[in-house]
Chain A
Amino acid sequence: MVVRDLPAPPESADKWEVQLRKGCLELAILAALWSDRLYGLEIMRRLADGSGLIVPEGTVYPLLSRLKSEGLLTSEWVEADAGHPRKYYRLTAAGRRRVVEMARFWESFSASLDDLLRPVRKEGR
């Protein structure tokens, strides 16, 4: 599946939703690399398939470069069957620690938000 074939986020997605997606992007990228090394396009596909996170292609590459310069990722060029080399990323030890911390925070945060949302969900039905 190719990123461009996936449905675009709804037009009505307001600023809050856009900000939320952006805010989660770093965690999503680090998490996508948890068990495999992946190249840029594969990361985007994995985000789109796994979490419906569709991000502009021009945003992901600079972000990968920043995560690398922060020491959370390393990269290597690999000759591929496709006939051209691809740049693969993998998590460093610091990157693994960071994603574990982020995931821990995410879980406690979403659990407490869930508590707040319970009455809203009940009456919103």
Chain B
Amino acid sequence: MSALTSPQASSPQAQMDAYLAELRVRLHALPEDEVTDIVEEIRSHIHDTAGRGGAMTDAGVSAALNRLGPAAALAAGYVTDKLLARAQRHRMPWTILRAVFHWATLSAKGSLVLLVCVAGYLFGTSFFIAALAKPFYPKAGLWLIGEDTYSLRLGMTNAIPPGHELLGWKLIPIGLALGGGTILLTTHFAQWCIRRFRETRQTSRMA
């Protein structure tokens, strides 16, 4: 549990407020009214479980917060599914990366999907940008700079690079196709993983 929710807080009330404040911060990806609704529901739950027949005690609040688990994990349970659902609807790389990033904080499978997505989008965008830059910066292109070493250059500096260029003007169609194709493929892969993940699980994996 983070420092914010440690039992050093001065009173049961302060301890609960610190936990809820952290929860609120961690839920920032959701709309404000939803965040308030969630925070108030958890506050009500703590009131119900922290005191036996009335006033809350320090020990009661500590135990109640322990049973709820760290605020970060609780927030992830809410946020991840919402973001994944949004990523399934809107196919923008940014939405997908954001959702998969949250997923990655929860499971190894999510981390793996994140790794593939980041690699795919980086590879795809590099080729796409190089193709777009070619008409303005003729040095942009795929260069062979060593025996087996390739370098993708955007050609925006005037320095004459070592090695020789491989694709020439063919970079434009190849770059656009390869870049666009990789971005599309990465998006499809991510959505397939998200769909499978959401279908096979019934609940968040916090146990």
A residues with a Cβ closer than 8 A to B are 2-4, 18, 22-26, 39-41, 55-59, 61-63, 65-66, 69, 77, 82-87
Contact = CB atoms under 8 A, between A and B. Distances in A.
B49 interface: yes
Contacts of B48: 41, 82, 86
A105 to B, nearest CB: 13
B36 to A, nearest CB: 11
Nearest to B201: A22
Interface of B: 37-38, 40-45, 47-49, 63, 67-69, 73-74, 77-78, 81-82, 85, 201-204, 206-207
For the complex of A and B, list the 7 residue pairs with the smallest distance between their C-beta atoms, beginning with the closest.
A62-B77, A58-B69, A87-B41, A62-B78, A58-B74, A84-B47, A26-B202
B75 to A, nearest CB: 9
29 contacts: A3-B49, A4-B49, A4-B63, A22-B201, A22-B203, A24-B202, A26-B202, A26-B203, A41-B45, A41-B49, A55-B207, A56-B207, A57-B45, A57-B69, A58-B74, A59-B77, A59-B203, A59-B207, A61-B38, A61-B42, A61-B77, A62-B77, A62-B204, A63-B77, A65-B78, A66-B81, A77-B40, A83-B47, A84-B47
